[in-house]
Amino acid sequence: MQIKSAEFVMSNSDVAKCPKDRMPEYAFIGRSNVGKSSLINMLMLRKSLAKTSGRPGKTQLINHFLINKNWYLVDLPGYGYARVSKSSKKVFQKFITNYFEKREQMVLAFVLVDCRHEPQPIDMEFMQWMGESGVPFNIIFTKADKLKPKVLERSIQVYSEKMLETWEEMPPYFITSASDSSGRDEVLNYIEELNNTIQTSEF
């Protein structure tokens, strides 16, 4: 897919106020600092369409971007970042779960995980929650430039094995780097394919 235009539309914390026009929408979610905003900028060939930061918690709202005037890309706040008591494991902000439960236009969520890390309980819980809530998702392994190919391959194998403890199959996944743009064509072409298969009448 060629990116002809990418415009920021709005930010808010209320799913009811998200854009009303029905266009296919793809959400990017994951732990804080996993590289959601960086990936969005890489996909869109823009330096700072989505705001990035070395400090976790930069993205605090639901951010809608209109791409090629016919689909939305959504940058969501990271979950799992909140100074909470250590007994409180789940930190999925209510407006994030509301977004996934109510946003009918949402075609697919990309759950981002840092390829360097072992499977994290919060990601497992979030994907579990998505599965139970009927939210379709794929996985994107980010920051692939940080690992040598063999180590990367092993890391993804470990991740898949962990997923298969609770899932019947590994969801489709992509491997990306915002630094060297790897995985860009794969993610964009996949979105394009989905957009093509969606009948306008569904929306």
Q: Which candidate, 89, 151, 152, places its Cα nearest to that of 124?
A: 89
Q: Which residue stretch of 31-39, 82-90, 116-124, 185-193 sits at the interface with ligand GTP (rule: CB under 6 A)?
A: 31-39
Rounded-to-integer distance, Cα 84 and Cα 183, Å: 35
- Kindly tell me which of 56 and 171 has the beta carbon lying closer to ligand GTP: 56
Q: Is the dihedral of CA 120, 189, 176, 12 positive or negative?
A: negative
Phi, psi of 150 (to 5 degrees): -65, -40
Q: Indicate if the alpha-carbon torsion angle 43, 38, 135, 202 is positive or negative.
A: negative
Q: Name which of residues 110 to 149 contact ligand GTP (CB under 6 A).
A: 142-143, 145-146
In this chain, which of 25, 32, 65, 135 binds ligand GTP, going by CB under 6 A? Answer: 32
Alpha carbon 46 to chain centroid, angstroms:
17
Interface residue with ligand GTP, options 2, 20, 48, 54 (CB under 6 A): 54
- Report if residue 45 touches ligand GTP, rule: CB under 6 A: no
β-pairing, 25-30 vs 62-67, is unpaired
At 184, list the tokens. 């860009």
Phi and psi dihedrals of 3, rounded to 5? -95, 110
Four-CA torsion 15, 31, 26, 161, nearest 10 degrees: -130
Residue 78 touching ligand GTP (CB under 6 A): yes
Span near Mg ion by CB under 5 A; candidates 30-38, 114-122, 135-143, 162-170? 30-38
Nearest distance, CB of residue 61 and ligand GTP, angstroms = 10
Give the three-class secondary structure for 53: coil
The total of other beta-carbon atoms located within 10 Å of residue 125's CB is 16
Nearer to ligand GTP, 84 or 164 (CB): 84
Strand 6-12 versus strand 62-67 pairing type = antiparallel
Q: Is 59 in the site for ligand GTP (CB under 6 A)?
A: yes
Q: Which of the listed partners (Mg ion, ligand GTP, none) does 178 bind, with a CB threshold of 5 to 8 Å by partner kind?
A: ligand GTP
Which span (51-59, 64-72, 101-109, 166-174) binds ligand GTP, by CB under 6 A? Answer: 51-59
Q: Is 64 in the site for ligand GTP (CB under 6 A)?
A: no
Of 34, 49, 58, 67, the residue at the interface with Mg ion (CB under 5 A) is: 58
When asked if residue 59 is in the footprint of Mg ion (CB under 5 A), the reply is yes
Residue ranges binding ligand GTP (CB under 6 A): 32-38, 52-54, 56-59, 77-78, 142-143, 145-146, 177-179
